[in-house]
Amino acid sequence: MVLATFVEQVKNSKTLTQARVFCFSAPTYPLLFFYHLIAFFKRNGLRIETLSCTSDDIGEIKAILSTMSFSGENTYWLEGFYTLPDKKQQEMLHYLRTYKGPHRVVLFSDKVIDNAASKDGNDDMNVISLPQDIMLKDFLAIRFLVNDNLQDKSSFASQITMYSDYLSLESVCLLAHYELVVGKNADDFFSQWITRIIDPTSSLFVLSQHFLGKKSKQFFRQWAAISEHYLPTFWASFWADQIWRAYVYYDLMKQKKFPEAKKAQYKLPFSFINRDWQQYNLDELRNAHLFLTNLDFRLKNGGSDIGLEHFYGQFFDNKFR
């Protein structure tokens, strides 16, 4: 099961489905996500108890899971399961694949979990794969875990799309917190703090998307937020690299060498790969690259960084054509 399907079910039902075991899987443990997920269930009346896998013996955990308590059916969160040695994780996962109750179990593993049914066909484990990156369109779908009163539509979420196409699961939860507290000060938050929270690689990717898409308004808004995070020499080299890659990709697409073009699209924005490349020509890309090569030389020899602003003006005014 993918995360989007799981959170949609949780949002609608306010509880877990009738499956017995819910195993979340990802390379790293998203602490904030599980904090809010468990807190959400508790707010909505689901009885959850914690079994610490760092202190409790596997045999003792199995005994608890196999015994009906005086309070009836419980949902057990296997805290720290992912910290167990591989052998003990596999032993416990084998047990949980055929677990029939009387309780429900939630756990997280940093191992790749096979989502297929076990060989005997009795697998009752629901595996939820957690993505490393959350698309911004899914940001709204997860915010309810942090606060039930956050509106489905959000100008805060819309502004995030100016800075990144995707977020880590932890960043989604963190930004939902900020959304609650910044209120009318959202503009100050986005101008001063957003680039300190969002992965800078993601910010550069979106900046390049606006740049090669020639969306000057969006570009300069994000440029104002992150330009001072890097030296002018970095920007000259970064844009020269992007334009050179764009040149190669454009040339191959025009020659209908699609397999080669697919290999050349690395580090280029999706919007450029899909459509924006068609608004260019080779002369424009060649001239822009030459300008940046000369600018890079001047910057490394004591030249003024005003050349970057001049480059942007020329580029967005189509002066390199």
DSSP string of 102-113?
A: SSEEEEEESS--
Q: Residue 262, Cα to own-chain centre: how many angstroms?
A: 23
pLDDT at 278: 93
**Same domain? 76 vs 113:** yes
Residue 171, CA distances (Å) to 9, 31, 136, 188, 191 in order: 22, 11, 11, 19, 17
Can you state the angle between helices 58-65 and 86-97, rounded to 10 degrees? 20
Decide if 288 contacts 243 (C-beta within 8 A): yes
Rounded CA separation 177/197 (Å): 12
**Same domain? 92 vs 180:** no
SS3 275: coil
Domain count, the chain: 3
Residue whose C-alpha is closest to residue 207's, from 224, 184, 194: 224
pLDDT at 195: 62
pLDDT at 121: 47
321 lies in some domain: no
Residue ending a domain, among 130, 161, 177, is 130
**Same domain? 100 vs 81:** yes
209 lies in some domain: no
Decide if 44 contacts 15 (C-beta within 8 A): yes
Tell me the CATH number at 28. Answer: 3.40.50.300
Burial letters 297-314, b for 16+ CB under 10 A, else e:
eebeeebeeebbeebbee
Domain range for residue 312?
225-316
**Same domain? 19 vs 90:** yes
| Count of C-beta atoms within a 10 Å radius of residue 135 | 14
Rounded CA separation 167/202 (Å): 8
217 lies in some domain: no
Q: What is the pLDDT along the chain (321 residues), one digit of tens a residue?
A: 888 889 889 888 989 888 899 999 998 888 889 999 999 999 999 999 999 887 657 888 899 999 887 778 899 999 989 888 888 889 999 999 989 888 999 999 988 777 654 444 446 788 999 987 777 667 777 888 887 766 556 677 777 766 666 777 887 888 887 877 776 667 777 766 666 666 555 577 788 989 999 999 889 988 887 788 788 988 999 999 999 999 999 999 999 999 899 888 888 888 899 899 999 999 999 999 999 999 999 998 888 889 999 999 999 999 999
**Same domain? 35 vs 56:** yes
DSSP element (H, E) containing 22: strand 21-25
Predicted TM-score of the model (pTM): 0.61
Residue 241, CA distances (Å) to 234, 247, 281, 296, 305 in order: 11, 10, 17, 12, 18
**Same domain? 8 vs 91:** yes
pLDDT at 320: 94
**Same domain? 17 vs 126:** yes
CB proximity list for 56: less than 8 A, separation 6 or greater? none
- 126 φ, ψ (degrees, to nearest 5): -95, 110
Decide if 146 contacts 173 (C-beta within 8 A): yes
pLDDT at 192: 66
Residue ending a domain, among 97, 130, 163, is 130
